[in-house]
């Protein structure tokens, strides 16, 4: 369903219509008595305490025929996020085998979405950080999920802590970097970034910036795509907590930063790899930023 178009059809307050006659749950969308865009679930359930946020209100009602839990948008600037929320709530409950599980499934799903409707929304990450986070997430999804499994891969992601490697698994470590497609070198931001007593890998994710109309990858789309792949609730919570630590809060402005993922290249980082560390720079040098030529590390590229 195109929720943007559907909500535009509602004119008067307190009017709702059924979302899908074939859905296992009784979902309705419309506008509440305050003319706020809303989605609600109707059934017979025992209500639990559910709190909303500054941007999304949660109300629960009971009449002689059924109970209702309603989610209403309180800030019109978050319309696009609310449309995604409605679509997600409806689609992620579509495959429920038992309608009696609907209420609890909705509450659990909303617990994840609350993180998106809590914090400030006025500022976004710098383009450098947007690309960096996309690089880490693409490498996580397209390589580490396959190598370690989803849960373990996410547990080992520590890119939010700038003093540690982006990904660590026992004695294996990976540093992921996003690089513009037309660049011929990679930027290293500290002496510690590639410093380790054990051999690791440098992963280069090549990104080409595209126009907003191009059907490429955006940070918003990538984060939700990964979240949708995580079936375990605790693992999904862990993923979102790390996303928050990365400084990300949903903003439709991220959809203007569209990239084509050109390739992922991995390089073996050992003693012969050209890099600076606290142990191989002149005495007195306490910090450094530098670039490494791709040509110089071509012989270190892994299959």
Domain ranges of the chain: 3-117, 127-302
DSSP annotation string for 90-127: HHTTTT-S-GGGHHHHHHHHHHHHGGGGTS--S----H
- The pLDDT score that the predictor gives to residue 222 is 96
Q: Is the dihedral of CA 175, 179, 185, 187 positive or negative?
A: negative
Between CA 145 and CA 152, with CA 149 as vertex, the angle to 5 degrees is: 100
What pLDDT score does 28 carry? Answer: 97
How does strand 172-180 pair with strand 200-210? Answer: parallel
d(Cα 284, Cα 282) in Å, to the nearest integer? Answer: 6
Backbone angles phi, psi at 57, to 5 degrees: -95, 145
Rounded Cα–Cα distance for residues 182 and 184 (Å): 7
> What residues pair up with 302 in beta bridges, in sequence order?
266
Token output for 130 = 């947007």
- pLDDT confidence of residue 249: 84
The per-residue pLDDT for 118 is 66
Q: For residue 106, what pLDDT is reported?
A: 96
Instruction: Locate 292 and state its tokens.
Output: 């490494």
233-245 and 219-229 helices cross at what angle (nearest 10)? Answer: 160
- Residue 235, classed as helix, strand or coil, is helix
State the pLDDT at residue 188.
96
In this prediction, residue 231 carries a pLDDT of 85
Paired residues of 202 in beta bridges:
175, 267
State the DSSP H helix or E strand holding residue 132, giving kind and residue range, or none if neither: helix 127-139
> What's this model's pTM, rounded to 2 decimal places?
0.80
Name the phi and psi angles at 208, rounded to 5: -115, 125
Tell me what pLDDT residue 268 has. 98
pLDDT of residue 122: 62
pLDDT at position 63 is 94
What is the predicted pLDDT for the residue at 119? 54
**Bridge partners, residue 37, by sequence:** 31
Residue 211 tokens, joined: 């126009």
Q: What is the DSSP letter of 49?
A: -
The Cα–Cα gap between 140 and 148 comes to 10
pLDDT in tens, the chain (303 residues): 899 999 999 989 999 999 999 999 999 999 999 999 999 999 999 999 999 998 999 999 999 999 999 999 999 888 988 998 999 899 989 989 899 999 999 999 898 888 777 654 567 899 999 999 999 999 999 999 999 999 999 999 997 776 679 999 999 999 999 999 999 999 999 999 999 999 999 999 999 999 988 889 999 999 989 988 998 878 988 998 899 899 898 888 898 999 999 999 999 999 999 999 999 999 999 999 999 999 999 999 998
With CA atoms as reference, report the closest residue to 218 among 244, 263, 254, 181.
254
Residue 230: partners with Cβ closer than 8 Å, 6 or more residues away = 150, 154, 236, 239
């Amino acid at each position: 369903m195109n929720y943007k178009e559907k909500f535009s059809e509602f004119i008067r307050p307190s009017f709702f219509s059924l979302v899908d006659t074939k859905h296992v749950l009784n979902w309705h969308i419309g506008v509440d008595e305050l003319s706020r865009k809303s989605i609600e679930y109707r059934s017979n359930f025992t209500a639990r305490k559910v709190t909303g946020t500054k941007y999304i209100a949660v109300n629960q009602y009971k009449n002689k025929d059924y109970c209702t839990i309603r989610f209403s948008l309180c800030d019109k600037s978050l319309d696009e996020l609310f449309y995604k929320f409605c679509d997600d709530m409806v689609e992620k409950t579509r495959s429920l085998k038992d309608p009696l599980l609907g209420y609890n499934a909705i509450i659990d799903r909303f617990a994840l979405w609350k993180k998106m409707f809590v914090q400030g929304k006025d500022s976004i990450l710098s383009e450098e950080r947007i690309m960096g986070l996309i690089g880490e997430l693409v490498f996580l999804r397209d390589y580490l999920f396959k190598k370690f499994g989803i849960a373990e891969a996410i547990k080992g992601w520590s890119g939010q802590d700038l003093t540690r490697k982006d990904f660590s698994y026992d004695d294996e470590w990976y540093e992921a970097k996003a690089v513009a497609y037309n660049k011929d070198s990679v930027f290293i931001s500290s002496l510690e970034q590639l410093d380790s007593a054990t051999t690791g890998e440098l992963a280069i994710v090549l990104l080409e910036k595209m126009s907003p109309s191009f059907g490429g990858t955006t940070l918003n789309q990538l984060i939700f795509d990964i979240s949708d792949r995580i079936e375990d609730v605790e693992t999904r919570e862990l993923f979102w907590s790390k996303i928050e630590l990365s400084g990300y809060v949903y903003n439709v402005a991220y959809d203007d930063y569209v990239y084509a993922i050109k390739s992922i290249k991995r390089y073996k980082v050992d003693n012969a790899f050209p890099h600076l560390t606290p142990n191989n720079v002149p005495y007195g040098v306490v910090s450094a930023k530098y670039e490494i030529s791709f040509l110089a590390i071509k012989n270190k590229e892994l299959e």
